[in-house]
Structure 1
Amino acid sequence: MTTNVTTKKLLAVEDSRPVLKLIKHVGQRAGYVVDTATTLAETQALLAKDTDYDIATIDYNLPDASNGEAIDLVLSKSIPSIVLTGSMSDKVRDSLLAKPIVDYIPKETTQALLYLEKLLTRLHRNKHFKVLIVDDSKSVRTYLTTLLKRHNFQTLEAEDGTKGLEVLAQHNDIKLIISDHEMPNMGGIAFTAEVRRKYNKDEIAIIGLSGADAGSLSARFIKNGANDFLKKPFCHEEFYCRIIQNIEHLEYVEDIQRSANTDYLTTLFNRRYFFSKIPTYVKKLESEGKPFSLAMVDIDHFKRINDAYGHDAGDKVINDIADKLTEHFQDCVIARFGGEEFCIFLPDYDELHAGEELDDFRRVISESCLTYDNEDIEYTISVGYTSRNEHLAALVSHSDEALYQAKETGRNQVLCFQ
């Protein structure tokens, strides 16, 4: 079997070999395979063989190209480019910003390389972010799309607030909206307020945009739910700073929520999140007249595993069953309740179907063997479940009772609460 591995490639052009070594190290830490060149001629030779680079870092001043000629060469191959420069006059800055570069980084301190690493990582992550641009001007939408695509964002467009809501309804993975103020049918402030009726600031970020002189516009946008505001015309650098600042805020909140909602060892949902998520699921299935079941799963004689093989091996067993649960019950909600105990919510499973699937899983576990530290570890599980139409606390309690009976009557079996 052939496995396709996606390789990120970076072209680093820099005449200082110590700096080039550092850039290569930074690029590799960010997950890139790095090709290097120290002159314009070497850059030309590399590009003659391969232009399939995800990104390039280019020194402004090279021995055989002192005025940024290497930048134009790499950009001509449609390779997103970051310029590193030791010359930061207003003239150089203005000339760089006039080019379709991703960013420029002054080589003033060691912070430049830290910023470069952050930017390289950011550019790869941006590929997974969708941005909706809402503006009645086609030229403005095209301009904003061009800027965003330089940073690898996915973009969608809408010509007014009404169309913006339609696009949002079709793409529930949009993370950032840039909205103009004055638009026909529905303006930016009304549009922002409508978006906030469904999505809070930690789910979708909104940046208001306007060329009007009214000083109160930024406050009105923000009071109606925008995260930020930008006045036209704006500087490229400020635009990107605002975009990244808002994206990083969303990621930060997601990281906090993920930590709060998942088990640290298995990355399954934890008990707290399970109890907050499932009641809504139960009500939905009840209203649709669909069946559901809930099961408690426990590893048999888990203390013996820890005593015989050590706690690291015990953790390995916990992760093993977590992986197998995720693979076997792909359409279900799985949580680690603590220790060696797991809970599965099975939507659309009646008693018979749930019993068959759970017993099939029990059999998979009993017939498998986990190798850890040259030791073969075999283990079994006991399962208790219920398919009654009850609230979540009762479902868990009754499944627990059935699990207790399975343990007391021999283990390695599945019992339904009667």
Structure 2
Amino acid sequence: MTPAQDHNHTAGVQRCREEEDDDTPNGRVLKWLESAPFDPENTQSYSTDDAEESSELPDESRSCSSYQSLSSLGGRPVDSDGDYRDDNLWYNGIEFHPEKDLPADIQGLAEKMMTESEPPDSLDTERALYEKVLQLNTAGNIRDKKKVFEALDGLAFEHPGELDKMERSHSERMSRFVVGRRWKTQQLGYMTYADRKQRQINTPAPDILYGYMPLLFSSKHRGQMITTLDDMDNANETTSLTLPFLVVDIALDGDNLLTAHNQCATGMASCVKMGERLASALPSRDPAPFCSAVFGIVTDGKTAELSVCWRHAPPGGAERPSRAVFNIRPVRSFSLNEEAQCRDFMRSVHKIIKWGKVDRLGQIEKVLDELAREDEQGRDE
């Protein structure tokens, strides 16, 4: 265990003990609220319109079309706080496990995205990406979020083809129904401001989110998808996108990757939550016909870090019962200024996108077909 991990673990144990010993009225309320089982399928979003409850930045702080600096917006988002990962994410069941062994199925999936493959028909695209990255990071050049996005867009982060069911959105706030928050509005209302602040998580708005366009599915699949996913049918508040599989967050101007990781974590957990809704529709199948794991990428133009998120709750320890529902583990870090690593990064991203377009989409359609057959059999009976 690294010193940082040991500190986080010790802090978590101490926090649990303090909460257990707190016999004040507020402490008793917290114990009552937290005694309820954590079921992410039944969580609801609370309002973030109230300035007292929300420290989120305006939407334009996440938009690739505005790229305003944090200082110009007059504040910092709560997810840039040093304790956000250890408190806010942890309380909502989102945990980072840098050294955790991946479950066998998730390990196999991650390895597929890393294994060496045949180079593309032309190396021109890889070379073009590397040259853009070098220009981006040349001494004296101002490297901001907009320029990072423009350097990687289209080359590393491919655009969907005309015949693809895959789609991607940009800087869209995700729907409140899919965000994996633990507490409902009424429950948060019982808490003090300090406790609410410690337990709130920002609504994710990934810079790029890859998923599927619902209208491109067959009418049978579309109807089954609406029935099965219900209020989680759409990942975003506005743009139609369902069952996302890749979350991309770019570090804000002058920021480090910590904030981007925290933002990406909430987005990945929300995507896994949607996938679990579909996977749980066929609970008796073994092996499960659909894997809800998703990938996330954070980058500042110099470094790109790939992570995987899955839902397998680990057993709780005697000292600190784990609240983890959504587990996140880094897969690989790429130094984009190194040509070989820049190439590997691009190939890994393309593999993830291809996996989403082919293998994962095939799993989704297989589940929808099976659910449709069960419905037909039920009507016949």
Q: TM-score, normalised by structure 2?
A: 0.19
Q: Which has the larger radius of gyration?
A: 1
Higher percent of residues as strand:
1
Query: Which one has more relative contact order, counting CA pairs under 8 Å at least 6 apart?
Result: 2
